[in-house]
Amino acid sequence: MPIVPPMVSAATGAGLIAHLPAGQDRLALLLAWIVLGPLGQSITAVGLLGNAAHAVMPEPYSTLMQATAVLYGMPVWGFAVIWLLLATQITLPTARHHLPFSLTWWSFTFPVGTLVTGTSQLALHTHATFLTWASVGLYALLIGAWLTVATRTAHGSLYGRLFLASPTPGVQCAPAAR
């Protein structure tokens, strides 16, 4: 099912937690980004099911499924946008000061991607201009995040630091023998 990987991939953000100092930064990352994947993906799924209903179900059920896409999608979208703002407010300072780059940074792109697809579905169902612009803005944010991570991945690959093993927090390595 092509809709599953973005939601599941968002959970790889848990791999970033070990790279943060113990305390509130770890807790904030745990409780912030991963939630966006299921929220955005559920809006997308309900919208797509509403679109497909007319080809499968008789009236009034097909129209009810279309309405459900909006009645479910709008409150969940509002919650997801609040969650995105909270996650961004926590993550940006943490990334600047405590979070070394690793391939797990790619997991930041998936929750935003699901929010883009969910917002796009709501824009299609409601014809609301603000949702169209929100989907464009979120897509620009997604491209910016993707370009940032792609650039850092390319840089780390070229200079050979990206594929080195990360030290396990709390584990001391013995000095090399001379």
Residue with tokens 């209903």: 53
Whether omega before 60 lies within 30 degrees of 0, making that bond cis, reads: yes
Does pLDDT of 77 surpass 90? yes
Q: 74 by DSSP, 3-state: which? A: helix
d(CA 178, CA 176): 6
Read off the pTM: 0.76
> Which among 89, 60, 159, 149 has a CA at the least distance from the CA of 113?
149
CA 70 to chain centre: 21
In the chain, % helix, strand, coil (3-state, to 5) comes to 75, 0, 25
**pLDDT score at 69:** 94
DSSP assignments along 24-89, one per residue: HHHHHHHHHTTTHHHHHHHHHHHHHHHHHHTTTS-TTHHHHHHHHHHHHHHHHHHHHHHHHHHHHH
Average of per-residue pLDDT values in the chain: 82
Who has greater pLDDT, 105 or 78? 78
Q: Tens digit of pLDDT for each residue in 19-51?
A: 777 887 777 766 686 677 888 889 999 999 999
Least confident range from 95-104, 116-125, 136-145, 167-176: namely 167-176
| The pLDDT value given to residue 140 | 97
pLDDT at 178: 43
Residue 99 φ/ψ, nearest 5 degrees:
-110, 100
